[in-house]
Amino acid sequence: MTNSLTVCSSHLITLPSAPFGPVREAIADARAAVNEFDPELVVFFGTDHRRAFRAVVPTFAVVLSATAQGDVAGPSGAYDVPSALGRALVADLVAGEFDIATAYEAALDHAFGHTARDLLGEIDAKPVLPIFINCASPPHASFRRAASLGRRVGEFFADKRVLYVGSGGLAHDLPGFREPETGEVLTEEERQAWIKSVNERARVEGTIRELVRTWDEAFLAGIGGTSWDWLDEIGVDLVERGGNGAAECLTWTAAWAAGGQALKTLAHEFDTNGRAVAISDK
């Protein structure tokens, strides 16, 4: 049995209108694997929807104290963050020439909360060290840079029994993030209207669905191995091929590299949004 387990998942919104298909079922399998593995530490690569980081958006940040906002029917409360360990990680990353930010405290949104709850049961069930990766406010890091960060993090925690989590994606388009320089987020009513229009266009044209499937399959094939050869190609024309939400897969890429193992896809589904769950062998 190895010292690490990696689980990557779309953060599934727990609203009555949310889909409950194969990916939702696979979350239960991933959670059972997490329970069996019983990690001493969870290193969680997650992102944000311009709720936690607004005035200043770092490319990467280690969070030393975190609460959950409870947005979109997500959990609320405090994470059990090992801040001393986080500070030591920051020092190591800086020594490794990563310009990492230190977030002394952050109110994290559902990009962390949903998946933490889905995999752990409660967000404070295990010590969780959140590592923020900017995915919603371009310019963001390349997939290769996210992998490099993940590899360094994995090296730092090589002597611990760690669950690496990546939460986000897959290919989808985030309403309100088309003009990032405004920093504005749509209201929920505007967001639902936008989603309805996208779904309608997809039913008529079929083009968005095909883009989602093609990009998703290429990405899942990449993390399904250990080669880094695919990292440069997957980010080319990202918005056109996978939507602006596809950048959330930077969190998966970092977690994949941290664990250093190929991931197997437990479930993948798509309509106008790609969703999947992938896990490494223990």
Give catalytic residues, as residue numbers. 110, 172
CA gyration radius, the chain: 17
Picking from 47, 30, 59, 34, the residue whose alpha carbon sits closest to that of residue 167 is 47
Query: What's 18's DSSP letter?
Result: S
Does residue 263 contact residue 279 with C-beta atoms inside 8 Å? yes
Angle at the Cα of 127 from the Cα atoms of 265 and 136, rounded to 5 degrees: 55
Q: Which of 140, 151, 149, 143 is nearest to 231 (CA)?
A: 143
- DSSP H helices in the chain: 22-37, 83-95, 110-120, 143-156, 188-205, 207-223, 231-234, 238-242, 249-259
| DSSP codes of every residue in 49-73 | SSSS-SSS--SEEEESSEEEE--TT
Distance set, CA 82 to CA 30, 51, 87, 129, 179 (Å): 24, 23, 9, 6, 36
Distance CA 113, CA 264 (A): 23
